[in-house]
Amino acid sequence: MSTYSDQSAVTVLGLGPMGRALAGAFLDAGLRTTVWNRTPGRDRELVARGAVGAGSAEEAVAASDLVVVCVVNYDAADSVLRRDAVTGALKGRTVVNLTADTPDRARDTASWAAAHGVRYLDGAIMTPTTTIGTPHAVFIHSGPEDLYQEHRPALAALGGTHTHLGEEIGRAAAYDIALLDIFWTSMAGYAHALAVAQAEGVTPRELAPFAQGIAAILPPIFGETAENVEAGVFPGDGNPITSAASTMAHIIHASEAHGIDASVMRATEGLARRVIGLGHGADDFSRVTDLLSRR
Ligand SMILES: NC(=O)c1ccc[n+]([C@@H]2O[C@H](COP(=O)([O-])OP(=O)(O)OC[C@H]3O[C@@H](n4cnc5c(N)ncnc54)[C@H](OP(=O)(O)O)[C@@H]3O)[C@@H](O)[C@H]2O)c1
């Protein structure tokens, strides 16, 4: 095992859609790229493009100082990394785990890595496979700053923006779950909105440009809400939560009149009603964060 970090070689473990995109970007950037996947055959196209297809995870790990892991979750990552042969081969090398999971799983993996002489960075990918290798990709990382800087040149081959969020290893996963919370609740709202609109004879294509208009008002609202939540003030003069709850009730009634499940909106209205019940009806919707933060 070399004592210096070889920046010209990388191993990718996990060749789902994202792992294949990562390996493809490393290849395009000219890195010697070794790949492995639990189910054989997923490396075919990458090997045709010049990747080395390893016969086992330990063989793949032994090929590079830098090992990028991208599988479905940390149970899957553990089942690959925490086998004696693989753990032994990883000693002294760097794992960059771009698998999504919880902050606690990232911390647990970091403890395991430290106990086995594996250098460890955690990370998350915030954009779809099509962005990888382009300026539109967004990566977040956490873990030892010096280790991140050491591998920054190789990671740059993935394109886009890379942000090191700090040394606390769970930080990238913390951002990831918070950002995916926004994404999936937004998508749940959009999926529901399309169903209600269709039931009223409005086609998805007709609604889409207006939906994009609604999404466009959110960035400044996100900024203001963050300021207010940090300051502990919830000014509802423009749109008190009593008015917002009334709008939510209209959505629920219209939806259920068509037999469409309104449970996502019912949950949102329920939060608003709890805020009102606590005597904060004149505040704006961001008071919900205060409610949820009470343990
Ligand atoms: N796709 C995206 O647009 C996107 C965007 C951002 C982040 N991500 C994240 O990137 C990661 C990978 O996503 P993905 O799109 O490639 O698809 P995925 O379906 O989340 O993961 C598929 C990969 O996980 C492997 N895997 C599953 N169970 C396993 C196990 N028990 N042992 C070993 N390997 C196992 C699969 O191997 P087999 O082929 O053997 O099943 C395959 O390589 C996920 O954490 C995902 O959240 C994806």
**Ligand 1: which residue has its CA nearest to atom 31?**
76
- Residue 173 pLDDT grade (very low, low, confident, very high; cuts 50, 70, 90): very high
Q: Where are the domains of the chain?
A: 9-168, 174-293
Report the C-alpha gap between 232 and 186 in whole angstroms. 25
- Indicate if the pLDDT at residue 116 is higher than 90: yes
Mutate which of 71, 109, 127 for ligand 1 pocket (most atoms within 8 A of beta carbon): 71
**Cα of 256 from ligand 1 centre, angstroms:** 36
Question: Given a cut of 90, is residue 182 above it in pLDDT?
Answer: yes
pLDDT for 158 beyond 70: yes
From the alpha carbon of 129, which atom of ligand 1 is closest?
A: 3
Q: What average pLDDT does the chain have?
A: 96
The first and second tokens of residue 200, run together, are 């009223």
| pLDDT for 165 beyond 90 | yes
pLDDT at 5: 64
Q: What pLDDT does residue 295 have? A: 67
Which atom number of ligand 1 is nearest to the Cα of residue 99? 45
**Per-residue pLDDT at 4 exceeds 80:** no
Give the global pTM.
0.94
For residues 116-121, average pLDDT: 98
**Ligand 1, atom 28, residue with closest C-alpha:** 76
Residues of the chain with pLDDT > 90, as a percent, come to 96
Which residues lie with the beta carbon below 6 Å from any ligand 1 atom? 14-19, 37-39, 42, 70-72, 76, 79-80, 99-100, 125, 128-129
Query: Counting atoms of ligand 1 from 1, which one is nearest the CA of 16?
Result: 16
What's the mean pLDDT in 260-273?
A: 98
Distance from the CA of 281 to the center of ligand 1, in angstroms?
Answer: 44
Cα–Cα distance, 292 to 54 (Å, whole number) = 48
pLDDT at residue 2, rounded to an integer: 42
pLDDT given at position 6: 74
Architecture field, domain 9-168 = 3-Layer(aba) Sandwich (3.40)
- Residue 105 pLDDT level (bands cut at 50, 70, 90): very high
Q: Look up residue 64 and give its two tokens.
A: 């590079």
3-state secondary structure labels for all residues of the chain: CCCCCCCCEEEEECCCHHHHHHHHHHHHCCCEEEEECCCCCCCHHHHHCCCEECCCHHHHHHCCCEEEECCCCHHHHHHHHCCHHHHHHHCCCEEEECCCCCHHHHHHHHHHHHHCCCEEEEEEECCCHHHCCCCCCEEEEECCHHHHHHHHHHHHCCCCEEEECCCCCCHHHHHHHHHHHHHHHHHHHHHHHHHHHHHCCCCHHHHHHHHHHHHHCHHHHHHHHHHHHHHCCCCCCCCCHHHHHHHHHHHHHHHHHCCCCCHHHHHHHHHHHHHHHCCCCCCCCCHHHHHHHCC
pLDDT of residue 3: 42
* Backbone angles phi and psi of 148, in degrees to 5: -60, -45
Q: Rounded to whole angstroms, how far apart are CA atoms 124 and 170?
A: 11
pLDDT over threshold 50, residue 123: yes
Architecture per CATH, domain 174-293, reads as Orthogonal Bundle (1.10)
Q: Which atom of ligand 1 is nearest the CA belonging to 71?
A: 24
